[in-house]
Amino acid sequence: CIIVTPDRQSHDIADVLTALDAQNLSGANALTHYETTASEIATALKDKVDIVVVPVRTGAALTGISKYFKQHHPSTKVYGVRSHDSAYPSIPELSTGDLPSVADFSDVTGMEVVCAKEAFLMTRRLIREEGLMVGPSSGAATCAALK
């Protein structure tokens, strides 16, 4: 298994990904999100989905989910969310930069960029107000959804 990680990302993550048999650069990952994640979202919401916001890591989830909704629910808008550098520590897995070649955003409605500070503050808010123990990518997605 060959794993390529950005220079800004810890190389230890490659060891973890290998241990988990990750498929970061595989088109099968996007297909899995198309076949499972997206249909689970649609089913859970009884096919009444107006907007979906997806944090962009490898691009696979956004690729698969946006393709599914474009084909099965064309009125649903699908947005990706990424972070940009700020005075706060960035969110490495969401930072703007190169994406794997398997990422295809042709069916994506738009891309929101959220600063890391906003994402971290939203993470704390979600924990405090909603009791949701989530990480910064969920904080970023919530910020983007509220925009």
Please write the tens of the pLDDT for every residue from 8-35. Answer: 666 666 666 665 555 555 677 889 999 9
Cα angle value 30/27/80 (rounded, 5°): 40
Read off the CATH number of the domain in which 97 is found: 3.40.50.1100
**Helical axes 136-146 vs 116-125, angle rounded to 10°:** 100
Specify the higher pLDDT residue, 132 or 29: 132
Query: Domain for residue 85, yes or no?
Result: yes
Range of the domain at 126: 12-146
Query: Domain for residue 6, yes or no?
Result: no
pTM for the full model? Answer: 0.76
Say how many domains are in the chain: 1
Tell me the C-alpha to C-alpha distance, in Å, between residue 104 and each of 50, 65, 88, 119.
21, 11, 29, 25
Query: Domain for residue 1, yes or no?
Result: no
For the chain, counts of helices (H) and of strands (E): 6, 3
Q: Which strands make up the sheet holding 77-84, listed edge to edge? A: 51-55, 77-84, 110-115
Could you read off the pLDDT of 51-99 as tens digits, one per residue?
Answer: 999 998 778 899 999 999 999 999 999 999 988 754 444 555 555 556 6
pLDDT at 35: 95
